[in-house]
Amino acid sequence: MAPLDPRLVAEAGAVGAPLVFCTQTGDRAWGIPAPADEADLRAAHVLPVEAVVSLRAPNETIAHTAHRDGLDIEFLSQDVKRLCLALLKKNGQALEPIHSPLVVATSPWHDELKELSFACAGRHWAAHYRSHARMLWSTGGTLRNVVRAARVLLTGAHLLATGRLVTDLPRLADESLRDLLAAGSDTLDGPVDQAAWTPRHDRWRTAFEDAVKSSLLPASTPDAARSALDDWLVRIRLRQQTDGDV
């Protein structure tokens, strides 16, 4: 594994709130070549109990952009309750950062959350992957969006078939798609003949829908998983109140 970029570590450390995790997301985390001067960080933090129980609505999101030594960083962190609610609403944008292979900061709570998030999986998650792939494909314009749409469909199909998440596109791609990834970031940002890619996209989409139909996952998040996630949330909130950290 490549060493952590100290600029990302510094950005995570400057949040000013206890972090459950901070991971790098976006194309680089999903095995798609990306510009070297950009990075996306996603995190979960724990608000103090005083902020949660106050009459004033807490600010549950920390979002900003930063520039550190030539690297443009987009940072977004959500309070753990907001993240848990997003998981229960089949939000893949909440699920995937939890499992990103590019970890900047972590904790034992993060390890527990990984397994709890899988327990929340159900066939209803198909809606997120279907709509996200449709948006990327309709945006078109570059090979990058075609590849991103492929990644979403292949990741979604694997999740629906196995209940586990594989976001690394090279692990899911066929040889021709892996060759395209090997061509580098500049190639992906070039124009695309979308009509030429339509037959392949249709195959990915059909494979996804077949995975939905044959999935053995429950229709929605089981009550036991919901209760376990709630228990995790209460425990981490109380730990922060007691220790001031997680």
pLDDT in tens, 207-226: 999 999 999 999 999 999 99
pLDDT band, residue 228 (cuts 50/70/90): very high
Domains of the chain in start order, with CATH, are 6-117+232-243 (3.30.460.10), 123-214 (no CATH)
Which of 231, 226, 236 shows the shortest CA–CA distance to 119?
226
pLDDT digits (tens, 9 = 90+) for 148-162: 999 999 999 999 999
pLDDT of residue 184 exceeding 90, the answer is no
DSSP symbol at 125? G
Residue 163 falls in which region: left (phi positive, over 0), alpha (psi -120 to 50) or beta: left
Which of 40, 41, 48 shows the shortest CA–CA distance to 18?
48
* Global confidence as pTM: 0.92
Other beta carbons within 10 angstroms of residue 68's beta carbon come to 15
pLDDT of residue 78 exceeding 70, the answer is yes
Q: Provide the percentage of residues in the chain whose pLDDT is more than 70.
A: 99
- Residue 29 to residue 5: CA distance in whole angstroms: 14
**What is the pLDDT at residue 1?**
54
User: CB of 50 within 8 A of CB of 206?
Assistant: no
pLDDT of residue 129 exceeding 90, the answer is yes
